[in-house]
Structure 1
Amino acid sequence: MSGVVGNLSPKQASALEQFREQVSDLLPQLPAQSDHFLLRWLRARNFNLQKSEAMLRKHMDFRKQLYVDKIITEWRPPEVLEKYLSGAMCGYDREGSPVWYDIIGPMDPKGLFLSAAKQDFIKSKIRDCEILQKECDLQSQRLGKNIESITMVFDVEGLGLKHIWKPAIDTFSEILQMFEENYPERLKRLFVIKAPKLFPAAYNLVKHFLCENTQQKIFILGANWQEVLQQYIAPEDLPAIYGGKLTDPDGDPRCRTLLHFVATVPKSYYVRDQVQLNYEQTEMVNRGSSLQMEYEILAPGCILRWQFASEGADIGFGVFLKSNKGQWQKASQMTEVVHSQRYNSHLVPEEASLTCQQPGVYVLRFDNTYSLLKSKRIQFTVDVLLPGQLQSPKAGGSIQSESVNGLGRDEPRNQIVVDQTASAQMA
């Protein structure tokens, strides 16, 4: 049996009923509560109830940490990504599913990564996934049948060495992993067209991030690619440049009002050429190690604000809340407040803030445990703002107590803790 509504074996139907009961506490928070939605998580884990539940619960944490429910209405990608990042929806396949096109060749990965933070790339793709999910829901209403997956077309003509630049490949790999873990069974099929000789090498760099089921949905087409696309996409929905009849109102076969044919990013967008920051502290995070900055917050509503840059390579960063004051703790022993992830801060300086909802010792943790060969030099400034405070005192070795909590404590407010435990022993 296929494991979809209307085609379930007795065992699968029983698993669905049990799965709904096991995640009943999550149901009010889920993007959807239908059997169609729940079955996607079951199919993604071959109807293993324990693994499916763990996957769905992890997805809900993902949605909370990245404010996914508001990403369409309250977040907009930086201008450079809107103008120069490939990817757009255009029409529907013959079964009514949205079709998404990525036009890779003209894209300028290095220019993009020198102009926007890696996290903005990832959020932009999450936003695309959410938009496509809503479009599937709308199509389901229009057609009176369940539409839950998309067809993708990857035009890789012009793929070159610039596209397999390491920061770009690393970020694309993270996006693939994010898609696999949080949007299961959303891909119906993916067509790769006009693949050059370099494509197999590029595909092998990211292939291992895709599960076997996803790999089976990828079709690398040959010279007859137009004929194959027309089998799955009706001519009136297929852009003329790809063998169909769809054009812009002015007759442009590229459908530029719908598709995004990108170009080289102007250097005026490069962040490091525009931002000159004077950081207050510099530290070395050794290979296989982490560095922790501790800030005691005694009143709710205080704001932690940070800026940092690394030299030569990326660095992991996250914010945690300690349960035991005065005692060093592993990341796994603390509460993660700001999701720990790797930042391309050697390309684009990172700046963000956190409103502390509860008192406690907050730990800003620079993570280099994943790098067993390379130490990282980081520069950073941390500000602590009182509720309603307009001017921000600087955090550092000489920070004054009243600038952090306003309660007249005399001891220093931040403490650097360097852990040189090998990454195999780290959480």
Structure 2
Amino acid sequence: MSNTLDPLSAIRCSKDDEYKHKSDPENLEENMKSGVLRKAKNVSSKFRSSLRNKIKRKNDTGICNIEDMHEIQDHKAVDAFRQALVMDSLLPTRFDDYHVMLRFLKARKFNINKAKIMWANMLEWRKNFGADTIMEVTNVDRFVKYQVQEFEKSLAIRFPACSVAANKHIDTSTTILDVQGLNLMSLTGPVVEFIKVVQKVDNDNYPETLSRMFIINAGPGFRMIWNVVKPILDPETTSKIQVLGSNYQRKLLEVIDGSELPEFFGGCCTCAIEGGCLRSDKGPWKDQNLLKMTPTAEVHHVQTASISDNDGT
């Protein structure tokens, strides 16, 4: 008789041995530890899931649903910090945000008292600086004042300096207006009102100061705007305006030297020292020696100080 077990018997023996091994008293302690670890793992998993779901439900009321996972210690610290802020009436609704509070805690090494002082100083600074309203659209009056300020700078400083540099009288300017992305939806009531007011101010008080204007990157959307705006403008003004599409570079270089035209408009000027052409006020009026040669140098000095005082308007 063969001692070889059939496959089914072998499987049964293997199962019996496994059962005996697991039931062995010597392994009881190890089995108990494993059971505790499994239970702890399950509890931890359920807690993380609960916390994740709680945050997820809170965000369901917003525009997008962001699944956010908070570290337990961070969550406790933020909760304590939040309560401290509420007690001292230092928690405006717009700043009742977990991550904002966490940033301040991290900045002060999770010292709640120091973080609260930092937080209170932040709120005071925002109030004094006007940070809460800095992103609001300004009003027409401030836009018009800025426009007038630029005209005054040109009349008192820029035109005289350019006249000396070119050795001929200069009292007009060339303007480039990039309208990429504008469409009919951009033509809101305040925009139309601004155009009307500035048009009247320019025509009544600063006549014949525009030599030419190039409106570039004008797509189909802007051309619809132009059809609405053009009748509002003075016919003499519109005759000086050229509306161009995306292939405008050649036209600009016909009237503006490439060294004076910003690189992003097809020229070679970068104003690298000034941080780029958009930040630069490049021109002969920056030459103090040249300014002294202008016919009304003393007036220029007084006007410059006056304009500087109004920069905040």
Shorter-chain TM-score above 0.5: no
Larger Rg: 1 or 2? 2
TM-score scaled by length of structure 2: 0.43
TM-score scaled by length of structure 1: 0.32
Higher fraction of strand: 1
